Amino acid sequence: MGARLENGTKLSVEPKTAAVITAALAVGGYLNPGDRVVGIKKNGQMDPWKYQGMIEIMTGRDSLK
């Protein structure tokens, strides 16, 4: 359920989501004045093996204390 531009082009990201991403990039120093974001796309789901590995690493960090 994406938004549409006046010319009918479908957006894959809601405008408010694009604004939040752009603001985060600017605050993080990844955008300079005058720069603009020309494309945002969803990468899809994380590989389940990678996800499981990250979970194991993060839970293992807690047990080291």
Q: What is the pLDDT of residues 17-60, one digit of tens each?
A: 888 888 888 888 888 888 877 777 666 777 888 888 888 888 87
The rounded distance, in Å, linking the Cα atoms of 36 and 30 is 11
pTM over 0.75: no
Instruction: Kindly list the domain boundaries of the chain, sorted by start residue.
Output: 15-63
Q: What are the residues facing 34 on neighbouring strands?
A: none
The rounded distance, in Å, linking the Cα atoms of 28 and 45 is 24
Cβ-Cβ contacts under 8 Å for 45 (sequence gap 6 or more): none
